[in-house]
Amino acid sequence: MKKSVEDLETIPILDDDELKMMHYYASQRWQTRKNIEHKLGNTKYTMAEYGKLKRITFPINEKYMLLITTEISTDHVNVIDKVLELIRDIKK
């Protein structure tokens, strides 16, 4: 029998303070990238692969960004393509 997402036990890797710190640093890195976008073009997304997870960050607009965390085995190219398509759709 296949398990559903609801059947899986979720064990957080980071505690609440570490998660807040990760989000803060992601925001700071995003602001740093904006300083060179005038030469390189707008950032579409960034991705970091760690030993236990992948984290993909997308700009939504000037005020908001979307952080997605996936398992290592996740097809990140597929996730990125789908999220970029959704972002394009909401900006129409």
Binned at pLDDT 50, 70 and 90, residue 32 comes out as confident
Rounded to whole angstroms, the Cα distance separating 74 from 13 reads: 17
Q: How far apart are CA 53 and CA 51, in angstroms?
A: 6
Model confidence over 66-92: pLDDT tens digits?
999 999 999 999 999 999 999 999 888
| Token pair for 69 | 């965390």
Residue 73 tokens, joined: 């085995």
pLDDT above 90 (res 34): no
* Token reading at 79: 């996730």
Beta carbons of 87 and 58 less than 8 angstroms apart? yes
Q: What is the number of other CB atoms lying within 10 angstroms of the CB of residue 58?
A: 19
